[in-house]
Amino acid sequence: MADPRLDPESEPESVFPREDGLFADSYSEKSQFCFCGHVLSITQNFGSRLGVAARVWESALSLCNYFESQNVDFRGKKVIELGAGTGIVGILAALQGGNVTITDLPLALEQIQGNVQANVPAGCQAQVCALSWGIDQHVFPGDYDLVLGADIVYLEPTFPLLLGTLQHLCGPHGTIYLASKMREEHGTGSFFQHLLPQHFQLELAQRDEDENMFLLRSLRFGLIARAVGCRAGPVRLQSPQPWHTFHIGPRLSSSASNKELLMKLRRKTGYSFVNCKKALETCGQDLKQAENWLHKQAQKEGWSKAAKLHGRKTKEGLIGLLQEGNTAVLVEVNCETDFVSKNLKFQQLVQQVALGTMLHCQNLKVQLCTYRKGFLNSSELSELPSGPEREGSLKDQLALAIGKLGENMTLKRAAWVKVPAGFYVGSYVHGAMQSPSLHNLVLGKYGALVVCETSEQKANLEDVGRRLGQHVVGMAPLSVGSLDDAPGGDTETKMLSQPYLLDPSITLGQYVQPQGAKNQPVKVGGSNPCLTIRIGVSASRPLGCVCRYSWAVVRACFFSVALASVPTHKNTCCGKEGVFP
């Protein structure tokens, strides 16, 4: 059976779902990761028909973290990585002295090769090859010491092909490391519970119940039998969650159990291994008490570190957009490097700031006959309570994050919009990614809110609001203009005269005209003032906007924020200029 991941006659989107770029067919993001003393610069090419192969997945980072914490020895070992995607796991193995072969489907090889060239010096051994499971695994030798895979168990038709490939590649004394989220809808659990144990002895090396992520180490039965003097039975992973492992043979030692506690505490809190180990020793290996002890110590140390780092420039960060009911908020949280902005702990900080702002907005007693908007500067934002059930303020959460991640950070600003019945809040975020735990919180680099009032159906409003916000972020208008203005070119700064971002053959004014009730033209009128806000490195470079369009049937309020580190576009607005408070 041929590998359906790469059937030349089939659509590659079946495994590599296409991710269309917002302003181009493809775009790249470069991120830095630090493992085993190596700083890895990894490029992810989104929207280039790579789909899931484009990004660095959490399982790959979990595998790298495990290699670092357990001091896995790669020196002189023959190593092969399957379904490498970006190649980060294989690259780390090569830097640690392994003779590494990094494999994936042909579509992903260019991305992997670029990352290898950027990170692996000439003295290290790393080669990039195409490998389609079930087709050409026999081209490769069958004596690898280590076989690595991160999040490669997600497509059921490939499970028998993957199993046969693992059987061929893993040498008689070889070890397989597989890290994966247990996605029941994709049959991942069935692979680890029923298929793999037929040929390999499984040992649970690491488990993260919060993320539903498992890291398993697999050995051939023959090697296990020689090690323990008898044939050990296969592992059984039982449902429902959380899963457990049962070993027929020697039980895990207390030291192994302590290591698992250490890894769990490290992943849950983000603190260093040294501090996590100290916390467990202080609290008698009690995980909950150790977590509380760490938070108290971090609160003390965080303020001290924040004072030391104060004044260092924070040009990176994230925008957080949160919507609940008739309220929407946008917040901006800054850090020093893009590397930290990709960290889960930083993203959780943005989430806490968005929740605190939402709570503040919902507690405001305002009479809504039309929409209302407001702004919070850095000092106002810092003093907000972090949540209804949390002690302290957002500045306390900021200090904790600084203590954990070791970079200066700032709570830059926030804006909110509340609307009455009959209005609809549309939203748009560029470079959007979902929050770690809140499905209605979106993170990114640019954000826009659009408030619409019309008799059109909600589904149409949602699409119109998203497209208008996308146009503001992409085209950076300086003023609204009028529907009577002549169409402009690429340098036009009047919004309604600009070429429509998603269809340059028409202007934005021509696009919005039929969007009113019963397809009646939208008329621009009224004398409502507009406000320009400025963020970034200088007051002369406007990078955000708040606008109000007074239309016959559509009223829109935009809030768009761009981080200072993002070049090319100036996100501004129309009308009277002002400074963000």
Q: Which DSSP string do the residues of 275-288 spell out, in sequence order? A: HHHHHHHHTTT-HH
What integer pLDDT is reported at residue 225 of this predicted model?
A: 36
Helix H segments across 270-364?
273-282, 287-309, 338-341, 344-363
Residues of the chain falling short of pLDDT 70: 1-26, 47-49, 185, 210, 220-257, 270, 272, 303, 388-391, 435-439, 452-461, 480, 514-581
State which fold the 316-562 domain adopts.
Tetrahydropterin Synthase; Chain A (3.30.479)
What integer pLDDT is reported at residue 481 of this predicted model?
A: 75
What integer pLDDT is reported at residue 77 of this predicted model?
A: 94
Three-state secondary structure string covering 486-511: CCCCCCCCEHHHCEECCEEEEEHHHH
How many Å is the Cα radius of gyration of the chain?
27
Which amino acid is located at 185 in the chain?
Answer: E
Q: Can you give the residue ranges of every domain in the chain?
A: 56-255, 279-309, 316-562
Taking the CA of residue 550 as centre, how many other CA atoms within 13 Å lie in the half-sphere pointing to its CB? 8
Extract the tokens encoding 462. Answer: 């949602």
What integer pLDDT is reported at residue 10 of this predicted model?
A: 38
Extract the tokens encoding 317. Answer: 């960060």
Longest dimension (CA), the chain: 88
pTM over 0.75, yes/no: no
What integer pLDDT is reported at residue 247 of this predicted model?
A: 33
Closest CA to 415 of 364, 347, 371, 361: 361
Contact between residue 550 and residue 522 where contact means Cβ atoms under 8 Å apart: no
Measured CA to CA, the distance from residue 32 to residue 44 in angstroms comes to: 11
For residue 82, count other CB atoms closer than 10 A to its CB: 24
Contact between residue 555 and residue 466 where contact means Cβ atoms under 8 Å apart: no
Q: Is the peptide bond before 240 cis (omega within 30 degrees of 0)?
A: yes
What integer pLDDT is reported at residue 240 of this predicted model?
A: 31
Strand pairing class (99-104; 78-82): parallel
Name the β-bridge partners of 561: 447, 544
What integer pLDDT is reported at residue 438 of this predicted model?
A: 65
Secondary structure percentages of the chain, helix, strand, coil, to 5? 35, 25, 40
Measured CA to CA, the distance from residue 432 to residue 413 in angstroms comes to: 19
* DSSP letter, residue 552: S
Three-state secondary structure string covering 252-263: CCHHHHHHHHHH
Which amino acid is located at 328 in the chain?
Answer: A
What integer pLDDT is reported at residue 456 of this predicted model?
A: 55
CA 229 to chain centre: 46
What is the CATH class of 56-255?
alpha beta
Measured CA to CA, the distance from residue 458 to residue 234 in angstroms comes to: 54
What integer pLDDT is reported at residue 268 of this predicted model?
A: 77
What integer pLDDT is reported at residue 26 of this predicted model?
A: 57
Is the Cα torsion angle 45, 46, 47, 51 positive or negative in sign?
positive
